[in-house]
Amino acid sequence: MQQDKIVVGLDIGTTKICALVGRKNEFGKLEILGMGKAVSEGVVRGIVSNIDKTVDAIKRAIRQAEEQSGINIGIVNVGIAGQHIKSLQHNGSITRASQDSEITQDDVMRLTNDMYRLVTPPGSEIIHVMPQDYKVDYEEGIMDPVGMSGVRLEGNFHIITAQSTAINNINKCVTKAGLEIDNLILEPLASSMSVLSDEEKEAGVVLIDIGGGTTDLAIFKDGIIRHAAVLPFGGNIITSDIKQGCMVMQNQAEQLKVKFGKAIAEEASEYEIVSIPGLRDRAPKEISLKNLAYIIEARMEEILELVYAEIQRTGLEKSLAAGIVLTGGGSQLQNLVQLTEYITGMDTRIGYPNEHLGKSRIEAVKSPMYATTVGLVLSGYRSLDDRGGRQQYDEYTMTRPHEAPARQNTQPAPPQGQQAKSEQPAKPEQPKQPSKAAGFFRDILSRTKGLLIDDFDDKQY
């Protein structure tokens, strides 16, 4: 039963590594049973740079989540991000034996699985294949061809690739921490599950997840993901600017940003000064909040202009009626909504991952900085594309069908009743899986929400 299924999300971010243990309550809402968090020292801009430090942080976060939830964690959904993420459009086709028989979900899955066999640039591999629309015997614009008659089935697909070494390093870290990966999910997609509504995805919306080391972008239109990208700038670069511009220590710069930072300099008072304790036997340093805001505004403008250029590159900016949703730790910066609206001309709101959350002892998870981790937990209950979730395919969560080499050493979660390595309460009852294919095809449309990529620790963004 869905109620009995426990799912663990593990977000390996630049600033923090966070683990959330969740299950569905009787009302279908997500109940967070435990949370673990550790400072991330081995991850730079979303990419693992030090295996041992990352493994230690994962172990600390998992141990904390286990203690709080009372559940032995063995299988996790893990997020992936980094500048190496690329997205492209591709189409494919299959020819069916009979024109009279109906197109089945098997036919659709066969077409989708063919996309995983595309030749990608050396050193990269496909992590998600997401259908856009289909053609049946050259009839265009079909969103769900199941049940129709035809010989030739074509599909347009949105394909997301990642660097093989980045995937291998994540696998290595998770395995060394004594865990298995159930699904590897692009972080902006996870965040979209927790913070976006179905109406916004239908109308057209941009999800911007500002984390510690990266800013993630996902664009939805007509309920389907149309574009995804990861930019190598996040809240940490603002902290570095403050450190250099105000000549203070790194931790002081972070506190200045969190407590006093504003994204619009005009909103800051010229007469307000904050005093920073000096180093040994030195006088305190006085920082003008106006100058602090100028430093933050300059860098935030640059990040938002890069994001807007990415949106324009897709040619969709005029059709995104729902505007922009900001999430991630960096979205909590004062006046950021106004600055985003000023630069892009699009309506903007902050996305909180609370729509799918039930009553929880851990109120902190309702912060935008946990949007990605909440989305990783939600991905255990729904797929990325609704259209795949029918009949016996209902329990699939589509990852790479052929289990690419990068993931051969981490077994997918065994079906219920075979909890080999994990004492974690049952993964969902899954019908026989023809391959680990079915997954990320299902629920880019569904009632999912969420985003946050490289979030920060409680006080950071």
Task: Answer with the residue of higher pLDDT: 115 or 393.
Answer: 115
Point out the least confidently predicted range of 130-144, 194-208, 416-430: 416-430
Amino acid letter, 29: K
How many Å apart are CA 143 and CA 455, to the nearest integer?
34
Could you give phi then psi for residue 100, rounded to 5 degrees?
A: -80, -35
- The pLDDT tens digits for 376-432 are 999 988 777 666 543 332 333 334 433 333 333 333 333 333 333 334 444 344 433
Amino acid letter, 337: V
- Please count the other Cβ atoms lying within 10 Å of the Cβ belonging to residue 106: 13
Query: Which domains are seen in the chain, by residue range?
Result: 86-162 (3.30.1490.110)
Could you give phi then psi for residue 148, rounded to 5 degrees?
A: -85, 165
CA nearest neighbour of 114 among 430, 417, 369, 400 = 400
The distance from CA 73 to its chain's CA centroid, rounded to whole angstroms, is 21
How many Å apart are CA 454 and CA 461, to the nearest integer?
10
pLDDT of residue 417: 35
Whether the predicted pLDDT of 39 surpasses 90: yes
- The pLDDT tens digits for 44-63 are 888 999 999 999 999 999 99
DSSP state of 149: B
The count of C-alpha atoms lying within 13 angstroms of the C-alpha of 204, restricted to the half-sphere facing its C-beta, is 12
CA nearest neighbour of 48 among 17, 9, 19, 18 = 17
Report residue 358's pLDDT band, with 50, 70 and 90 as the boundaries: confident
pLDDT of residue 424: 43
Could you give phi then psi for residue 336, rounded to 5 degrees?
A: -70, -35
How many Å apart are CA 256 and CA 279, to the nearest integer?
16
Residue with tokens 């050493």: 409
Q: Is 170 helix (H, G, I), strand (E, B) or coil?
A: helix
Using alpha carbons, list the distances in angstroms from residue 43 to 82, 85, 124, 141: 10, 16, 19, 42
Task: Answer with the residue of higher pLDDT: 341 or 121.
Answer: 341
CA nearest neighbour of 231 among 244, 217, 218 = 217
Q: Which residues contact 401 (CB under 8 A, 6 or more apart)?
A: 113, 116, 435, 436, 437, 438
Task: Answer with the residue of higher pLDDT: 259 or 407.
Answer: 259
pLDDT of residue 382: 79
How many Å apart are CA 428 and CA 7, to the nearest integer?
9
Residue 418 buriedness (CB in 10 A; 0-12 / 13-18 / 19+): exposed
E strands, 13-66, in order:
16-24, 30-39, 43-44, 47-48
Using alpha carbons, list the distances in angstroms from residue 231 to 2, 58, 260, 313: 36, 24, 26, 14
- The pLDDT tens digits for 70-103 are 999 999 999 999 889 998 899 999 999 888 889 9
Mean pLDDT computed over every residue of the chain: 83
Question: How do 124-136 and 6-12 pair as beta strands?
Answer: unpaired
Using alpha carbons, list the distances in angstroms from residue 214 to 319, 339, 403: 26, 19, 27
Largest CA distance in the chain: 87
